[in-house]
Structure 1
């Protein structure tokens, strides 16, 4: 098995750390259906994925304000937790599972690459549908991609050396991913600052078009790589459990740290959604053309199952919210910022003065205000309503 791995990695120059620094793409063979993965359909898929990321980031940038971003940098607990999850906890958890289940060589290395990848831009679409903290999701996507330049070579060297192989880190692809994440978000934030109506239209249309594009990518992937549906049961199991396991670990850690509900959902979704474009590029660069499709099976199958599982989660959450009448407000949807809006102005509340002159605030308004401020208090710099001496999350309000 080691000889096979050495043969597959001999086509690329590997440096002393086991990481191939060459930037040359390798040609992929035709699969069993006669479709060339490096041909026209692959070009269409690449363009579709890049366009999808740009459209998503532009749409969500139109829903953000600079104060939303600033709040998470001033109190970076959520961001730091996400980075630790992406590059420390999740890779080690799945490395332990790989060793325990004794997977074949192809699934070992492809799952290792998948586990060490940063968050994908598509995660923000599911964060949006699950009423998560969109500002936090965008920051996690961007920061994890930047930090992947340092963490991914270290993780891949530590994990893959036990199987005798070197992994190629495509620095150009990482740079492209950073650009398609940061630049559209910045443009969207500029648009919302000067034209709120245009920003709302872009956000609404962009999320809808992105959903259609995701369905198109699933159909094209299924046509190009039909052999992934006939893989072994172990491949199916790991492709299916990756997202639920990562989501559960992230959610429970966020819950133990008493983060708000929208931040817990955001951490769970972003941790379980890896950058598939970067993962597939690494596989294309790292392994020979003779075995390329064998390494590609698990990531492609995982991408389809992951999007299905997260879509079901978002539908279940919205059904729960509709049935129970509970709407946990996210930091980006409850406050509309314009160029003339001053973030230091207090939130208007429906107040009712009782006969003895004491202040009474509606319970529903207070709960919404508490949820919002717990996620974005420092960014908005909103003072407590007069008459409220203290409040606790889910607790009593003292008036």
Structure 2
């Protein structure tokens, strides 16, 4: 498979002699408005999600970065490899193959932080992974693209959007840092901000989905092969990320987090890199793929959230049937001494970190008869 630039079509994407296709010209203003609005909303969202981050837990992830290391391995080890295998299996054209590979080499997107919050994941790990993968993209993106495109003998240079990566880092770290400070100094107010942030996240997802559909209409029709890849690619990323986290003995909470971080890619960065590296004629064949990937990425995220909520509700109802008197017993224990209450909180926190099927099962162990334990912990 080889991708060569013909002499009639200039390789630099910023060629002024070539006219833009009507489809790309039509939605240029809409794309600019969408970028500005999404950047402002993303900043507010990351500030609110930062209110859920505790400095102590964040420092633990930095001191022992096992979860972050597994996430980076998934992001820059599994995803580029999966993209390359999909390109080979479906025998894509060079232009289409490059679009799939660039998507696989992009860092994690901030949309995964919203999904992680809704599935009760590890927010400290999620934000740490998003930040670290964005920093690592400065070196890992060109390295992965160089290795996986060696066999194609590309004559044009792929332009890494370093400015876009820097802007993403600023928009990510500064709002999160403010959120962490608010959570540290005003923990009660941070809970209110976090609830508002969840609503903002839902609105942002709707805006992204609607804008993605409108922008996709402005591009050329996506063929069946690329549509299939854009559907299965994020799914494979979620599944393989979860399995690798499970094999490395991460907790269930971390497994959910790493799974969502692996399949959710930075769509805006992929689009920016395509626009910087290719001509307008080539973009017509390429831009539809990241837009379709983004839509299916949202769909997969909603399916994972719905499945988790159903499982959580089922486990709660199952636990209530087995232990009808547990809630009353735990309610009576609220009047116990402060030492017993702090013991309950400590044991419950340790149980939450321990790998297990779900929170209700841990609650089932915590609500044993009082004859065996001094408190309902």
Normalised TM-score (structure 2): 0.81
**Offset at 1:69?**
0.6
Distance 1:132 1:276, change over 3 A: same
1:219 equivalent in alignment to 2:215: no
Is residue 36 of structure 2 the alignment partner of residue 36 of structure 1?
no
User: Are residues 244 and 223 of structure 1, via their aligned partners in 2, closer, same or farther at CA, if it must alter by over 3 Å?
Assistant: same
Q: Using the alignment, how far apart are the partners of 1:133 and 1:6 within structure 2?
A: 52
Q: Which moved more, 1:294-303 or 1:90-99?
A: 90-99
C-alpha displacement of 1:2: 3.3
| Match for residue 197 of structure 1 among 173, 188, 194 | 188
Match in the other structure for 1:94: 83
Distance change in 2, residues 1:67/1:129 (3 Å): same
1:259 matched to which residue of 2? 250
Structure 2 distance, partners of 1:288, 1:298, is 16
Would the alpha carbon gap of residues 312 and 373 (structure 1) be closer, same or farther in structure 2, given more than 3 Å must change?
closer
**Where does residue 76 of structure 1 map in the other structure?**
65
Does structure 2 retain, via aligned residues, the 8 Å contact 1:131–1:262? yes
Query: The residue matched to 1:120 in structure 2 has which SS?
Result: coil
Superposition map of 1:1-399 within 5 A:
2-4=3-5, 10-11=11-12, 29-32=20-23, 36-37=26-27, 39-165=28-154, 166-226=157-217, 230-325=221-316, 368-374=348-354
Instruction: After TM superposition, give the deviation of residue 5 of structure 1 in Å.
Output: 6.8
- Give the conservation status (yes or no) of the 8 Å contact 1:160–1:167: no
Q: Is the 8 A contact 1:8 1:291 kept in 2?
A: no
Question: Structure 2: how far apart are the matches of 1:366 and 1:28?
Answer: 65
Map Cα deviations across residues 329-351 of structure 1 (whole Å, 9 max, x no partner). Answer: xxxxxxxxxxxxxxxxxxxx959
Contact 1:118 1:145 survives alignment (8 Å)? yes
- Aligned in 2, Cα 1:296/1:302: closer, same or farther, shift over 3 Å? same
Residue 10 of structure 1 aligns to a residue whose secondary structure is: coil
Q: Deviations over 1:96-151 (max 9, x none)?
A: 22112201223201110000001111110000001110100000000010011011
Partner SS state of residue 110, structure 2? coil
> 8 Å contact 1:48–1:217 — kept in the other structure?
no
Q: For structure 1, which runs of at least 5 residues remain unmatched after alignment? A: 13-23, 328-348, 354-359, 376-390
Q: What 5-or-longer segments of structure 2 have no aligned partner?
A: 319-331, 356-361
> C-alpha distance in 2, partners of 1:228/1:238?
18
Whether the 8 Å contact between 2:165 and 2:269 is mirrored in structure 1 is yes
C-alpha change, 1:43 and 1:175, in structure 2 (3 Å) is same
Q: What is the aligned length?
A: 340
Give, in whole Å, the separation in 2 of the partners of 1:326 and 1:6.
68
Query: Structure 1 residues 233 and 319, CA, compared in 2 at 3 Å: closer, same or farther?
Result: same
- The answer as to whether partners of 2:21 and 2:280 remain within 8 angstroms in 1 is no
User: 2: CA distance between counterparts of 1:96 and 1:6?
Assistant: 30
Shift of 1:365: 7.7
What SS class does the counterpart of residue 168 from structure 1 fall into?
coil
Tell me what 1:344 maps to: none
* 8 Å CA contact retained: 1:141, 1:270: yes
Aligned equivalents of 2:204 and 2:21: distance in 1? 25
Cα distance change on mapping 1:309 and 1:123 into 2, 3 Å: same
Contact 1:35 1:224 in 2 (8 A): no
Distance of 2:261 and 2:19 partners within structure 1:
30
